């Protein structure tokens, strides 16, 4: 069986997908009898399209060295955006365009179009899910297609599939966790070094851990999107972004961290999901507790009715790490088709 893939978005995560496919396609063929082929790959203004399949390494080299995918030898194209979905035959859309929590675009339109064409979709994009989770899920059901989004929460850290599949006998009562790696990194370093928020933010930006515009991370917006996705997918709460109470970390002072430390606590940006509360805020956690994870790591404690508490920890971001969750989602879809 062939699995023809359109990959929308060719930044950090998109290139991770190309890398992972190159690394794992033989094993996937052996184990699941599926031959993965990238038939179209798009960035913001161009694409590379070939029904016979594109070369993963050449895609990465072209993007790195020549900037635009239209420079891909022979198959480079000026077709971009939603039109790419009409330019080639495919089975699955892997969508990793930038998250936009104001409009949910381009993810929403791309996903809807794929569903209507009866194609499965795997995404890492939080925007459309934080705004219109139910619309997206309903459309997938209506069109009888698969939709997977493990990478949207906690990157490589397994949480959505873990709760849905591995803990399927349990009712999920609440989820509490560190859902943003950038803020965890900043707070961890403030704790270790006693430095100010401003100084550590600046250094994090220089290291590429925080973005030039750090708002989405430091003001808790990214974590808030994730609480919405968890509430909808695991607790069955019909919530949207505006339902989240959000407080970020930009007002945390080194004095506050010091006081917490003296009393045996750490300050962490915590996302909380219960049937009645959606909240992202700085909180005190006990040193040595499950919440005591530092650096860019993410963690979440899932409270269930039967299994009590289950805690997962993992890398919340990274090119290959995030791609790993998406390819796992793809394999789950392949298993259903077998």
Ligand X SMILES: NC(=O)c1ccc[n+]([C@@H]2O[C@H](COP(=O)([O-])OP(=O)(O)OC[C@H]3O[C@@H](n4cnc5c(N)ncnc54)[C@H](OP(=O)(O)O)[C@@H]3O)[C@@H](O)[C@H]2O)c1
Which residues here bind another protein, judged by CB under 8 A? 176, 247, 251-253, 255-256, 258-260, 262-263, 265, 267-268, 270, 272, 281-285, 291
Catalytic residue selected from 226, 268, 303, 315: 226
Q: Half-sphere exposure of residue 22, counting CA atoms within 13 Å on the CB side?
A: 14
For ligand X, the binding residue among 5, 6, 7, 8 (CB under 6 A) is: 8
Stretch that binds ligand X, among 6-14, 172-180, 204-212, 274-282 (CB under 6 A): 6-14
Alpha helix segments (H runs only) across the chain: 12-32, 56-66, 107-116, 127-142, 160-161, 181-193, 197-206, 215-218, 221-235, 254-262, 319-337
Tokens of 200: 């550590």
Answer whether 166's CB lies under 8 Å from 156's CB. Answer: no
Separation of alpha carbons 314 and 312, rounded Å = 7
**Among the listed residues 3, 9, 39, 291, the single contact to ligand X using CB under 6 A:** 9
> Nearest residue to ligand X, using CB?
11
Q: Are 318 and 15 in contact (CB under 8 A)?
A: no
- Region from 12-20, 86-94, 241-249, 304-312 binding ligand X, contact rule CB under 6 A: 12-20
Residues 6+ apart with CB under 8 A from 16: 318, 319, 320, 321, 322, 323
* Contact pick of 19, 44, 109, 281 for ligand X (by CB under 6 A): 44
**Token digits for 226?**
């994730």
Output the smallest distance, CB 31 to ligand X, in A: 25
Looking at the DSSP bridge assignments, the partners of residue 327 are none
Structure token pair of residue 289: 């507790």
- Contact region with ligand X (CB under 6 A), list: 5-13, 25-33, 157-165, 183-191: 5-13
- Any catalytic annotation for residue 202? no
Binding characters for ligand X, 92-111, by CB under 6 A (x = yes):
----xxxx------x-----
Q: Which residues in 147-206 contact ligand X (CB under 6 A)?
A: 151, 155
Q: Which residues bind ligand X (CB under 6 A)?
A: 8-14, 42-45, 81, 96-99, 106, 124-126, 151, 155, 317-318, 322
Catalytic site residues?
Answer: 226
């Amino acid at each position: 069986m062939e699995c023809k893939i359109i990959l929308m978005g060719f930044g950090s995560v998109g290139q991770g997908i190309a890398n992972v496919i190159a690394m794992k396609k033989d094993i996937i063929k052996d184990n699941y009898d599926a031959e993965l082929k990238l038939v179209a790959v798009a960035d913001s203004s161009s694409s590379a399209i070939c029904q016979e399949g594109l070369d993963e390494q050449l895609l990465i080299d072209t993007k790195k060295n020549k900037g635009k995918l239209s420079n891909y030898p022979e198959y480079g194209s000026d077709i971009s955006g939603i039109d790419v979905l009409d330019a080639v035959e495919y089975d699955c859309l892997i969508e990793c365009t930038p998250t936009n929590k104001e409009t949910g675009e381009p993810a929403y339109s791309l996903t809807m179009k794929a569903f209507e064409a009866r194609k499965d979709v795997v995404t890492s994009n939080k925007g459309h899910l934080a705004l219109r989770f139910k619309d997206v899920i309903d459309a997938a059901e209506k069109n009888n297609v698969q939709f997977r989004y493990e990478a949207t929460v906690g990157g490589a850290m397994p949480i959505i599939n873990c709760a849905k599949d591995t803990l399927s006998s349990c009712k999920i009562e609440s989820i509490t966790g560190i859902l943003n790696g950038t803020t965890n990194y900043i707070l961890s370093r403030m704790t270790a070094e006693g430095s100010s928020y401003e100084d550590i933010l600046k250094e994090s930006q220089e290291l590429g851990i925080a973005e030039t515009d750090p708002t989405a991370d430091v003001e808790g917006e990214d974590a808030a999107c994730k609480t919405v996705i968890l509430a909808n997918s695991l607790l069955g709460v019909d919530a949207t972004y505006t339902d989240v109470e959000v407080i970020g970390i930009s007002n945390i002072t080194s004095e506050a961290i010091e006081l917490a430390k003296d009393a045996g606590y750490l300050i962490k940006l915590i996302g909380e999901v219960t049937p009645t509360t959606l909240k992202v805020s700085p909180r005190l956690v006990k040193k040595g507790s499950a919440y005591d994870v530092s650096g860019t790591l993410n963690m979440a404690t899932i409270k269930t009715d039967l299994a009590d508490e289950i805690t997962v920890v993992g890398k919340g971001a990274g090119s290959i790490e995030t791609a790993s969750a998406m390819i796992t989602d793809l394999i789950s879809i392949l298993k259903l088709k077998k």
